[in-house]
Structure 1
Amino acid sequence: MDLFGGTIRNLENGLSYATLKNKAISQNIANVDTPNYKTKEVSFKDVFNDVKKDSISAYRTDARHYDFKMEIGGNGVYSNNFRSRPNGNAVNMDAEQAKLAENTIYYNALIDRISSKFSTLNNVVKGGR
């Protein structure tokens, strides 16, 4: 039995994803002048698969229903081999800053949601006072 219906766990997993993505973006920005540096990207699909302990399969109520399975992927971080500058560096600073801003908004939205969830739980524990 999950006490909170999985909501807090899902928000925690979302925060872990946003943190991993922020780390990859920060490394890209920090290495903007490093020759032959390849940008790192975070794949939501791979991170999602890593969160699951086993593969996900469909619950079929009829033999005619399609069955599907999702396989567990890597660690969610992969390198981009695109080269945009003569020194072999693949970091596009404008794109990385835009990704960082988008990820920051996503992270803050998750923080607001989990804070609201804890506030509601606190209110219930205190009996509405």
Structure 2
Amino acid sequence: MDHISMMKSKIKFDYWKKTIEDCQASEKTVVAYCKENNVNEKTYYYWLRKIREQLCKDMNYPATAEENKCEFAQIKLHASYQQANPTIKLHVGKVVVEISDGMSQETISYVLNGIRNIC
């Protein structure tokens, strides 16, 4: 895009950004604002979408280690469970849950709810 086209695009973007800000500040409905200011409603919503997309691109989202942090808690089992062969093996993504006969409903619920929260 040449310099003149870029300037035209910037001027048009700034015009619509101001128009949208004026509409929102007017506390009128979009329909009423557009009628009163001779603005095409479809064009208004087109530019609203374009401006929102640009604003989202311009925002800096700091990458934090917390976003994708995954923690696992070790669940201590009674000695009788440690030697048991699993009756059920459940694969959820990279997580494997083995449920053995005699495992309490409370423990099973706790583990499955934990998996649901991270998946």
Normalised by the size of structure 2, how large is the TM-score?
Answer: 0.27
Using CA pairs below 8 Å that are at least 6 residues apart, which structure has the higher relative contact order? 1
